[in-house]
Amino acid sequence: MTGRVFRVILVLVLIALLCKACIVRDVPPKIINNNVKHQTNLASAYTMPKNVTLNGIDYLQSQVPVGSFGGTLVASTIGEGPKTFNPFNCKDNTSAILSGVMYDGLFTTNPITGEVSPKLAKGYTISPDGKVYTIYLRHGIKWSDGKPITADDVVFTWQNIIFAGLGDTSTRDSLVINGKLPTVRKYGEDIVVFVTPEPYAPFLRMLSTSIAPKHVFYNAVQKGSAYFDSFLSTNAKPKDFVVSGAFKLKEYVPAQRVVFERNPNYYEINTKNEKLPYLDKLVYLIVGDLNNEVLKFEAKELDVISLQGSKVARYKSLEPHSDFKLYNLGPDTGTMYISMNLNTRKNEKGKYYVEPVKQKWFNDLNFRRAIDYAVDRKNMVLNIANGMGVPLFTPETLNSIYLNKKLKPYDKDINNAKILLKKSRFKTDKKGRLFDKDGNRVEFNLYTNAGNTEREAIGVMVKQDLEDLGMKVNFKPIEFNSLVNKLVSTFDWDMVIMGLTGSPLEPNGGKNVWLSDGRLHMFNMRTPAEGKVGILPWEKELDEMFNKGALATKFEDRKVYYDKYQDIVYTQKPMIYIYSPIRIVAIRDKFKNIYPSSLGGLTHNIEEIYVDKGSKALRQSKK
């Protein structure tokens, strides 16, 4: 995960706490396979870049060892590739990662401490009442085309793109405070002032959102949303991209690769005052599925790979005689879950999104709880993740500082599941087939994204677990973008196995998932025209918890609200969480300045990573 990838992983989530806090880990050692040790010593050795001014220009200066220039790092992405390179129009994680390589925000997150750290901004102040944010930009830094990065770009981005609702509106929606948006103004070339309607704890970190070059985006904005939605698509020419990040687009070959080249105007330097990044190129191969990704890594076509638990033991045995190292990054910061479609409404043609018979099942809490008890999480951890994971029961991950530890885990309990179904008058026939009280056979479709072999394996096991209850489950892996379309556009699905990226520092990043009118409220999705129609009592509670949690400014006060939201999800089961994988990543030995981090991943500092030209791994690759 690149440094910018870490900043963009917050397309759904990039919002966090303003206070310092330690990362809490509560991982039962008996479950986790500890063959790969956690690399905390390397992470703690990393020092964030510092501000320096040279010849009137405000640079970031790297504080890690000076490296050599040149070389390429080849990473990968699963699926069909990006749908856009416009950072404000990303509706899938691949597009967010790849577009995010090119565009920096005002701030980022320190990958070691979780604190707010400067990027395009060199500093900030917050007024005593917590509502006025004065942002001081770096003077003299430039876009890749040589034009200056100024307050005009910042104000334009926030006022004319984000607040205007162009592209994906997740960031704007997360900033609505008591029905109002913040305001933004410039004061000279290098100062921008944001004013929020109320003190808003997540606000500062939301300023990690990409900044657009006004001189490039202006015409697209003037032409309106329809044009903006296609602006900087995958059909755009590399010369059309003007960027602030360490790399800019050089080449895109559909279904094959995305190639980035170093931005010669990047504003970070090393201690010799030489401009970073060190690497000439950053390449993402579009590998299709996880098995193909492994084959390409073993063929030395890839330099870095995140391993499924089932692959770890083999790679650990190969490591001493190989050209790569393994790193344990701890529990994944995202979540995997099962969800049922609770939608009881009709589309514009008067047709129900979900068949009325299935609506009754999915909206029956006993039914959802029965499915929860039927899922054998421990078996999945052992057989799919090869022990490299921990059962998960809450929407907050195991390393979240907001994890509600009062919510206790439990094992599969098929008898309890059957009792719950019996309470709602479900019954089985002599062949063990399950029927509802009206005599309807319990049968539905279970979807996940094809190519993700881990989720496909989970789907097979979920199907088996639910068939133990007499349910007929039609498991249907489909192409990722088709699945996303079902979830957030057409709403025509029954049950799904999916995942969401997340931040262990800030639950508000999931606001669009949990708010009843959120754009990612998948389990009971509403169209913009519907608003909050048909809101369930516990959905209303979730709205209240997230609104209050964002307005509270002290960690202790916020945790009360976020504990409650987890309790609601734990009780109502709109999403049934499966397990949290342990992230094991391999990277070639030839790459130096590697400081693995639970928060930032393995290559959070991509601009500082270099190729050791004297390394054994490099000599072997040349042969």
Strands 257-262, 281-288: parallel, antiparallel or unpaired by DSSP?
antiparallel
Instruction: Give 590-617 pLDDT, tens digit per residue.
Output: 999 999 988 888 999 999 999 998 766 5
Question: Is 119 in the same domain as 241?
Answer: yes
Q: What is the pLDDT of residue 621?
A: 53
Cα 480 from chain centroid? 15
> Under DSSP, is residue 434 helix (H, G, I), strand (E, B) or coil?
strand
Q: What is the pLDDT of residue 35?
A: 46
Q: Which two tokens stand for residue 67?
A: 């490296």
Question: Is 598 in the same domain as 526?
Answer: no
Any idea how long the chain is?
Answer: 623
Question: Is 356 in the same domain as 273?
Answer: no
Residue 23's domain spans which residues? 3-302+589-622
Q: Which two tokens stand for residue 559?
A: 């945790």
Question: Is 122 in the same domain as 184?
Answer: yes
Return the number of other C-beta atoms located less than 10 Å from residue 122's C-beta: 21
Which parts of the chain register pLDDT below 70? 1-43, 615-623
Question: Is 510 in the same domain as 608?
Answer: no
Element at 124 (helix H, strand E): strand 121-126
**Residue 43, in any domain of the structure:** yes
> Does the global pTM surpass 0.85?
no
Q: Which two tokens stand for residue 23?
A: 């990362």
CA terminus-to-terminus distance, the chain: 28
| Cross-strand pairs, 331 | 582
Question: Is 149 in the same domain as 297?
Answer: yes
**Residue 318, in any domain of the structure:** no
* Cα distance between residue 507 and residue 8, in whole Å: 16
Instruction: Name, in order, each residue with C-beta under 8 angstroms of 439's C-beta and a sequence gap of 6 or more.
Output: none
Q: What is the pLDDT of residue 41?
A: 56
**Residue 197, in any domain of the structure:** yes
> DSSP alpha helices (H): ranges in 326-452?
356-362, 365-374, 377-383, 414-423
Query: Residue 283's domain is classified under what CATH number?
Result: 3.40.190.10
**Residue 329, in any domain of the structure:** no
**Residue 531, in any domain of the structure:** yes
**Residue 467, in any domain of the structure:** yes
Q: What is the pLDDT of residue 43?
A: 62
Instruction: Give 421-430 pLDDT, tens digit per residue.
Output: 999 999 999 9
Question: Is 77 in the same domain as 107?
Answer: yes
Question: Is 595 in the same domain as 452?
Answer: no
* Cα distance between residue 71 and residue 58, in whole Å: 27
Query: Residue 397's domain is classified under what CATH number?
Result: 3.10.105.10
Range 417-423 contact pairs with CB under 8 angstroms and sequence separation of 24 or more: 417/369, 417/370, 417/371, 417/372, 417/373, 417/374, 417/469, 418/370, 418/469, 420/366, 420/367, 420/369, 420/370, 420/373, 421/366, 421/367, 421/370, 421/469, 423/366
Question: Is 467 in the same domain as 601?
Answer: no
Q: Which two tokens stand for residue 510?
A: 């999931």
**Structurally, how many domains does the chain consist of?**
2
Question: Is 572 in the same domain as 605?
Answer: no
**Residue 307, in any domain of the structure:** no
> Under DSSP, is residue 427 helix (H, G, I), strand (E, B) or coil?
strand
Question: Is 255 in the same domain as 340?
Answer: no
Question: Is 451 in the same domain as 548?
Answer: yes
**Residue 122, in any domain of the structure:** yes
Determine if the peptide bond prior to 277 is cis (ω within 30°): yes
* Cα distance between residue 442 and residue 362, in whole Å: 11
